[in-house]
Amino acid sequence: MKIFGVFALLLAAVTLASSPSAEAWEEEKVLRIYNWSDYIAPEIIVNFERETGIRITYDIYDSNEVLDGKVMHGNTGYDLVVPGSDFLARQIRAGVYRKLDRENIPNWKNLDPVQMKLLEEVDPGNEHSVPYEIGTTGIGYNVDKFEAIFGKGAKPDSWDYFFRPGNMKKLSSCGVSVLNAPTEIIATALHYLGRGGLDSDTGGYSEAERLLMGVRPYIKYFNSSDYIRDLADGSICMAVGWSGDILQAAERADTEGGEVHVDFVIPKEGAILFYDMMAIPADADHPKNAERFINYLLRPEIMASISSYVSYFNAVPASKPLASRKFRNNPNIFLPDELLAKMFLMKPLPPEASAELSRIWERIKAAGGAPE
């Protein structure tokens, strides 16, 4: 009995020593994020790492199509990604994202219920995603160069400046860039043509293709990030781009000597209003860390810091009073009601429509003009 008792004690000791503790079962202190370029205030990552001890790997992309190719093929290697809401809907149906555990996201209460209701159109029950930032697609331009071509006080306040070859030919002398984002540019073309934007009816796509082919020779390049730098340093004079990016370019131009003056305008015909959403891939290795990061971002002061830096607005109403005054008072960020009424959301597309869109886009890019 004594020998057995000693053996039992030894066995218990070995078992305790070799059994993982509660802490050992927790996720390792790692978080891999895949987000858009120039889309977060730098101190956010540093402060989160300091507060939590979680080490972040942060990679970037510059189009929904790039992210879509990665998540739809699985094995992303990431714990948190930021798809556009129109891509998100199809990706959710494909099962590439896991449902969120709101127990780990108590700051969910800070989200605007009106916007969350709207987003149920792409994510029923808001089960898989959280809004990150919200913006518009419009036109950024070099004020001085644009006025030199079209006259004092002129601004590209109509899509005519982009879709009419005569205007684009004049602008080609100082450089025009376009987002490498087929869904958004072709949707904008269809909206301009009065067809209401992009939908699953591919019959109208050929009209948009003809319209874009007419201005293709005057487009300097297609890219979804370089235009920030090129607008800021005067290398181009007009860009079809995202509101926050162009406002960042304007800020850079001001801080880099003030010789270049950049502004942003939403054309009077209206434009795309988009939501970028945070979602956790189904194959994420550290989903709890991702939910902890989401919860951190939903603090009003954190979201205010991000929005002030990237010049996009967000779905946390309590963040607005905490943002910079310049940000709060910018009508290109917080749209007036009369302009908001002209904006449109992107619709999710079935795979066959997306494939046709990609084929058209490749033809447009290959058709001529300066190399990318």
pLDDT at 369: 58
- Domain 135-273+347-366 fold is D-Maltodextrin-Binding Protein; domain 2 (3.40.190)
pLDDT digits (tens, 9 = 90+) for 321-345: 999 888 888 888 888 778 878 888 8
Q: Taking the domain 28-134+275-334, which CATH number applies?
A: 3.40.190.10
- Rounded Cα–Cα distance for residues 182 and 205 (Å): 11
Question: How many CA atoms are closer than 13 Å to the CA of 103, on its beta-carbon side?
Answer: 3
Domain boundaries, the chain: 28-134+275-334, 135-273+347-366
- Rg over alpha carbons for the chain, rounded to the nearest Å, is 24
- Please answer whether residues 178 and 195 qualify as being in contact, where contact means their C-beta atoms are separated by less than 8 angstroms: no
CA nearest neighbour of 293 among 314, 310, 279: 279
Task: Judge contact between 122 and 348, C-beta under 8 A.
Answer: yes
Tell me the sheet residues that pair with 36. 61
Count of Cβ atoms closer than 10 Å to residue 263 Cβ:
19
* Helix pair 351-366, 205-215: axis angle to 10 deg: 20
With CA atoms as reference, report the closest residue to 61 among 181, 176, 153, 171.
181
Residue 166 CB neighbours (<10 A): 9
pLDDT at 16: 37
Q: What is the DSSP letter of 223?
A: -
Structure tokens belonging to residue 347: 């619709």
Question: What is the spatial distance between Cα 116 and Cα 120, in angstroms, rounded to a whole number?
Answer: 6
- Count of residues in the chain: 372
Query: Contact, 177 vs 221, CB < 8 A?
Result: yes
Pairing type for strands 176-178 and 238-242 reads parallel
Which two tokens mark 343?
A: 């904006």
CA-to-CA dists, residue 96 to 36, 120, 155, 316, angstroms: 19, 18, 43, 26
Amino acid symbol at 126: N
Hey, what are 265's tokens? Answer: 């305008």
CA distance 300 to 322: 8
Predicted local confidence at residue 350, as pLDDT = 84
Which stretches in the chain have pLDDT values below 70?
A: 1-25, 369-372
Could you check whether 28-134+275-334 and 135-273+347-366 share the same CATH topology?
yes
